[in-house]
Amino acid sequence: MIYSSTASYSTNSAAAVQFGKRVVLFDAPEGIQHSLMHYKVSLGKISTIFVSHLHMDHVAGLVPLLTSMNTRALHTRVTVIGPKGIKELMDVYCRLTFSDFAPSLQVLEMEEGVSLTHPISESCTLTTHTLTHAVPSFAAVLRVKGRAAIDIERLKTAGFPIGPLCGDLIKLGRVTVNGREYIHSDYTQTNRDRKVVFCGDCCWDTAVPEHRAALVQDAMDCDLLIHEATFGRDMAARAPGMGHSTPSMAGCASKAMQARCMVMTHISNRYLQGLERDVPAEPTSEGGDNTKYSKYEPLFLSGKCFDAVFVTSDTVQHGCGIPGDSPLSQFIPDALEAGAQAVCLARAGLKVAFS
């Protein structure tokens, strides 16, 4: 998910999931391009943009982003998946602002109660599900098949000189070093499949049972669930009427899906007053070993560590500087109490990258 540094409201959030050379972007709030730049996400890598619903804090940055991609002649084939009406929104905006999109742009519209599966590549699919919110809102389940990758540690242990010769090993299939022959297939491992679930704005408690069941079934055992928690326990009675979730509801969603990790986002500004902000943290380098927290700023879940981003309430409480008397300090405990396995908070967004 990506921190939107120009956003005046912290609820402006988006998620960028990067795998291999592709990026799937979930939601496009105002300022998304700045965030993408900040996190060094190349616009040319974006292959799919999923817009969960048509509220402005999720879609205001879409057309500027697409026109920018077109202006820079990024001719990658891009697919936008959004609720019914998104085509009209894009057409009107384009017509009135004399803008153009790439001719290869594909737009798919979602309808409530209808699940849509979009093949992003041979190894990756995105399936949509219906949520319950003030307006039609959707979730997406992103599946990425594990790829075969060279096992550097095993090669090292076997005495192979790590460096340019690795390239030869991949290219040629076998390399002889000091009289010993190394065969590529002996040192490859296939990364396991990954599943990331992104839920747009929604109230988990009041979801239509069959919609919720279908989502849970599809999302089961996901590596990461990104779920909103707009309101704290003080607003639990009012949250359903506004189509939003509390940490406890998000925790129930996480438990139902048996998510390995959940990130709660879209937190109402009312809980963020007085917290330091607007100094986006430098993301850790890709493949780094740690999830970096800077105060209560964006998270970067990266490469190898993606499996290990299991955050306890202690880590977040201590690492993010949430004052103990802030209602926000209850967010993590509430979600854990509801049955979530591991939880962290993202003020406005984070980038998720895995190999």
Instruction: Write out the catalytic residue numbers.
Output: 57
Least CB distance to Zn ion at residue 334 (A): 20
Among 27, 30, 57, 218, binds Zn ion (CB under 5 A): 57
Question: Binding segment for Zn ion among 81-89, 146-154, 195-203, 345-353 (CB under 5 A)?
Answer: 195-203
Q: Which of 38, 30, 39 has its CA nearest to residue 8?
A: 30
- 196 to 225, contacts with Zn ion by CB under 5 A? 201
Q: Return the DSSP state at 8.
A: S
C-alpha span between 347 and 266 (Å, rounded): 7
The answer to whether residues 55 and 87 touch, using CB atoms and an 8 Å cutoff, is no
Query: Closer to Zn ion at the Cβ: 55 or 212?
Result: 55
Among 17, 51, 55, 261, binds Zn ion (CB under 5 A): 55
Q: Return the DSSP state at 285.
A: P
Least CB distance to Zn ion at residue 220 (A): 26
**Residue count of the chain:** 355
The token duo for 47 is 């292959």
Question: Binding segment for Zn ion among 51-59, 97-105, 119-127, 298-306 (CB under 5 A)?
Answer: 51-59
C-alpha span between 330 and 110 (Å, rounded): 35
Handedness of CA 319, 321, 326, 327 (dihedral sign): negative
Query: Closer to Zn ion at the Cβ: 232 or 283?
Result: 232
C-alpha span between 39 and 282 (Å, rounded): 8
Question: Binding segment for Zn ion among 27-35, 53-61, 105-113, 257-265 (CB under 5 A)?
Answer: 53-61
- 107 to 146, contacts with Zn ion by CB under 5 A? none
C-alpha span between 332 and 346 (Å, rounded): 11
- Residues touching Zn ion, count (CB under 5 A): 3
Q: Return the DSSP state at 11.
A: T
Query: Closer to Zn ion at the Cβ: 60 or 105?
Result: 60
Q: What single letter denotes the amino acid at residue 104?
A: S
C-alpha span between 257 and 217 (Å, rounded): 7
Query: Closer to Zn ion at the Cβ: 55 or 347?
Result: 55
Question: Binding segment for Zn ion among 54-62, 90-98, 175-183, 191-199 (CB under 5 A)?
Answer: 54-62
Q: What single letter denotes the amino acid at residue 230?
A: T
Query: Closer to Zn ion at the Cβ: 65 or 202?
Result: 202
Least CB distance to Zn ion at residue 265 (A): 10
Least CB distance to Zn ion at residue 345 (A): 16
Least CB distance to Zn ion at residue 78 (A): 23
Q: Return the DSSP state at 2.
A: B
27 interacts with Zn ion by CB under 5 A: no
C-alpha span between 313 and 330 (Å, rounded): 10
Least CB distance to Zn ion at residue 14 (A): 11
| Strands 194-199 and 138-144, sheet pairing | antiparallel
Question: Binding segment for Zn ion among 55-63, 97-105, 149-157, 205-213 (CB under 5 A)?
Answer: 55-63
Contacts of 338 (CB under 8 A, 6+ apart): 247, 248, 249, 250, 251, 252, 254, 255
Query: Closer to Zn ion at the Cβ: 52 or 254?
Result: 52
Least CB distance to Zn ion at residue 29 (A): 8
Element (H, E) at 105: none
The CA R_g of the chain, rounded to the nearest whole Å, is: 21
- 220 to 249, contacts with Zn ion by CB under 5 A? none
Query: Closer to Zn ion at the Cβ: 195 or 212?
Result: 212
Query: In the complex, which residues of this chain contact Zn ion (CB under 5 A)?
Result: 55, 57, 201
